[in-house]
Amino acid sequence: MNTLLIIGGVILGLIFLVFIGVVVYLSQKGKNQPPSFGLVEEKYYVCSKHQLLDGGVFGKGPKLKFPVEDSELVCPRDEWEEINKKKFKKLATKWYGKDWNSEVDFWKK
């Protein structure tokens, strides 16, 4: 009986640790993301300093990041400036030669 209680306690402890880990990971990750990180809303951001773009429907998609989707490059939140979709598309083409015709309809408008 005692053994079962100990095993149960250890398992609960581990679940708790994993939970804390995920929360810390997400909050750290969010720190260097545009303000819409973790929300569902259509927004477009640019960091002119590092020429990074991040925009689309946050939390749901379609969404794109430039220069690469899984960029290890992150910018402090105050470097992200909100822009409109038109400017976002224009900058992606200008900086990274993005061809919007190969994207889904969402991006063609």
Q: Which residues are near Zn ion by CB under 5 A?
A: 47, 49-50, 75, 79
Q: Which residue has the tokens 């773009």?
A: 53
Length, in residues, of the chain:
109
Residue number, 29 or 49, with CB nearest to Zn ion: 49
| 53, 63 contact by CB (below 8 A) | no
Closest contact distance (angstroms) between CB of 31 and Zn ion is 13
Q: Closest approach of Cβ 70 to Zn ion, in Å?
A: 17
Nearer to Zn ion, 45 or 107 (CB): 45
| DSSP secondary structure code for residue 23 in this structure | H
